Chain A
Amino acid sequence: MRRLINLSPNRAGALTLSVLPFVLVVAAYLFYSSARNAANPGDKLLPLPATIAATIHQYAFEEDERSGEVLLWKDTASSLERLLAALAVSAVVGLSLGLAIGVLPYLRATLAPFVAALSLIPPLAILPILFIVVGLGEAAKVTLIIIGVTPVIVRDLAFRTAELPGEQLIKAQTLGASSWQLILRVVLPQLWPRLIDAMRMSLGSAWLFLIAAEAIASTEGLGYRIFLVRRYLAMDVILPYVAWITLLAFTMDWLLRLLRAKAFGWAGPGA
C-alpha cells in the first residue's frame, strides 16, 4: 500500500470529488426540507425548493408593491456601489502607502509601527464613532470597509516591497535611476500583481464589514434585506440572498485572478 500523501485522484475523479460536498449539502437540505414540510406545511425554517423559486422570482423579476422597484437588483446595486467604492479607495491608499513605507526607510521608521497598531483596531468597535462623526449615510458604511481593509493591504504591500531583492534596487541605481524613477519603473510595476493578491485576500473581510454596516443602518442593500426579513423568519429570502452574495464574491475573486494572469503573466500563476 502506497502512502496516503502519494495517492492522488485522476482528473475525472478530482472533478467528481469536488462536486461531492455540494451534492451532499443539497441532498441533506432536500431531505430535511421535505420531511419538515410533510409534518407541517407552514414550515418556515427549511422552505421547499418550489417556495424558494417563487420567492426568487418575486424578488428578482417583479416590482415591489410599495417601492415599485425590483428589490434584488436594487439591493445588489447599492451594495456593490459601496463595496467597490471602498475597495477602490483602499487599493489606491494601500498601494501608495505600502510602496512608500516599503521603499523609503524614513517613512518606514515613521509609519510602519503606526499602521501595525491601526490594523489591530477591530473596525466594528469604531463603527459607533463613524456613525457619530460622519452620520448614518453612505459615508459611514464606505468608511467602515476602508478602515477595515486598508491597513492590512498597506502592511502586505510594504512587506512585498521589502521582499524585492536588494540586488535589483542597487542595479537600478547603477543604471542611473533616481528614487522616483526606481519607484516608477522597478518597484511599482512589480507591486501590481501583489496588489491584486492583497485585494483578493481582503474581499472576505470587505463583505463582512459591508453586511455589518448595512445590517445596522441602511434602507437598502443585500445585508439590509437579510436582516430585515429575519424578523419574519423568511428563510426563503435569506438563503437565496446568501447564495447570491457568495456568487458575487466568487465572481469578483475570479475576475481578479483572471486579470492577474492576463495582465501580469511574468509574475507566475499566483495563489
Chain B
Amino acid sequence: MWKNFGSQVVLENVNLHIGDHEFVTIVGASGCGKTTFLKILLGIETPSKGEFLIDGDPLAGEPGPDRGIVFQRYSLFPHLTVMQNLLLGLEFQGSPLLGRLFGARRRRALERARDLLEAIGLQDAAGKYPAQLSGGMQQRLSIAQSVICEPKILLLDEPFGALDPGITADMHALILKLWNMNKMTIFMVTHDLQESFELGTRVLVFDKVRIDPQAPEAFGATVTYNIPLKGHRSAVGE
C-alpha cells in the first residue's frame, strides 16, 4: 500500500496482515504517516496504490459502523448528556428515520448503556454534559460510545495524549477490559513507547528507511518493525 499527497510520498510499501482480536499499537516519529495510516483505515483518506481488506472485502471509502474511532479531542457531542452520547450509536442503528428509540427498544438500549456506563465508572455522571466532565472522563465516554456499537475494529488516535499522566494507568486498564469484553481489533496510535509495549499484542514502528537529502519528500515511511508480542495476550486476558 502506498500513499502520496501530490509529489510527497507519505507511506510506501506498507504490507501487513493483522489477525482478529489483536491490539496493534503504532509508534513512530512525528510526520511518519501514523495518522495518515489511521485515516486510511477510517476511510477518510484512500490509498494511492494498493488496498486494505477486512475479512477479504475492500475497505469502504467512508467511515462506517464497522470501524469505531476515538480522537484526542472533539469526539463527543456537546449538546447531549453522557447517557445521550452513549445511546446515540444504538439510536442511529435502530431508527433510520428519527434517530431516536422509544418504548421497549429504548428501555433495552438504556439497560445496555447503563451497564457500559458502570463499566467505565461514569454512572453518577449520566445526566451531565461533556463540558462538565474532566478530560479523562470524556475519553472514557468517547471510547464507550464507540464500543457500544460493537465495531470489528476500534481506531484510537493518541486517545490519552492530552491527559494527565496520573490517570493513564486507569485508562489502560479500561481499554484492555473493553477490548477483552468485545473481542475487537484495536489500532492505537501513540507517542508513548512504553504504553505501546504495555498494551499491544503487536507493535508497528513507522519510520523512513530511505532519505534523499536533495528531495526529502521523495521517499515515504513504512513499517520498519512489526513486533508480535507472544504470550502477551494471555497475560492481559482473564
A264: nearest chain-B partner, CB-CB: B79
Query: What does the 1/0 interface line of A162-192 toward B look like (CB < 8 Å)?
Result: 0001011011111111101100111001100
Q: Is residue A258 contacting chain B, with contact meaning CB distance below 8 A?
A: no
- Interface contacts beyond A171-B142, A185-B99: sample of 18 additional A-B pairs, CB < 8 Å, sorted by A: A167-B75, A170-B42, A170-B63, A170-B71, A172-B77, A173-B63, A174-B42, A174-B68, A176-B65, A176-B89, A176-B92, A178-B96, A180-B96, A185-B91, A186-B77, A265-B129, A266-B78, A267-B78
Contact indicator A190/B79 (Cβ below 8 Å): yes
Query: What is the size category of the interface that chain B forms with chain A?
Result: 20 to 34
Q: B97 contacts which chain A residues (CB < 8 A)? A: 180
Please state if B74 and A168 are interface contacts (CB–CB under 8 Å): yes
Q: What is A's interface to B at a CB cutoff of 8 Å? A: 165, 167-168, 170-178, 180-181, 184-186, 189-190, 264-268
B65 A175 Cβ-Cβ under 8 A:
yes
CA distance A6 to B131 in the complex (A): 30
CA A181 to CA B77, docked complex, whole Å: 14
Chain A contact residues: helix, strand, loop or mixed: helix
Does B146 touch A at the CB level, under 8 Å? yes
| Ranked 7 nearest A-B pairs via Cβ | A175-B89, A176-B65, A173-B63, A165-B74, A167-B74, A181-B99, A176-B92
B interface list, Cβ under 8 A from A: 42, 44, 62-65, 67-69, 71, 73-75, 77-80, 88-89, 91-93, 96-100, 129, 131, 142, 145-146, 149, 151
Q: In the complex, are the beta carbons of A181 and B44 less than 8 A apart?
A: no
Which of B67, B78, B80, B93 is packed against the most chain A CB atoms within 10 Å? Answer: B78
What's the minimum C-beta distance from A269 to chain B, rounded to whole angstroms?
A: 12
Q: Which secondary structure characterizes the binding site on chain B? A: loop
Is the Cβ of A175 less than 8 Å from the Cβ of B88?
A: yes
The total of interchain contacts (Cβ-Cβ below 8 angstroms) comes to: 82
**B69 near A170 (CB under 8 angstroms)?**
yes
Instruction: Tell whether, in the assembled complex, residue A176 and residue B149 are in contact, meaning their CB atoms are under 8 Å apart.
Output: yes
Contacts of A264 in B (CB 8 A): 79
The answer for the CA separation of A190 and B78 in the assembled complex, in Å, is 8
**A226 to nearest B CB, angstroms?**
43
Inside 8 A of B89's CB, which chain A residues have their CB? 175-176
How many angstroms from the CA of A186 to the CA of B91 in the assembled complex? 12
Smallest beta-carbon distance B61→chain A, Å: 12
A189 contact set on B, CB distance < 8 A = 79-80
CA distance A167 to B96 in the complex (A): 22
* Contact yes or no, A167 B146, CB < 8 A: no
Q: In the complex, which residues of chain A have a beta carbon less than 8 angstroms from the beta carbon of B100?
A: 185
A174 touches B67 (CB 8 A): yes
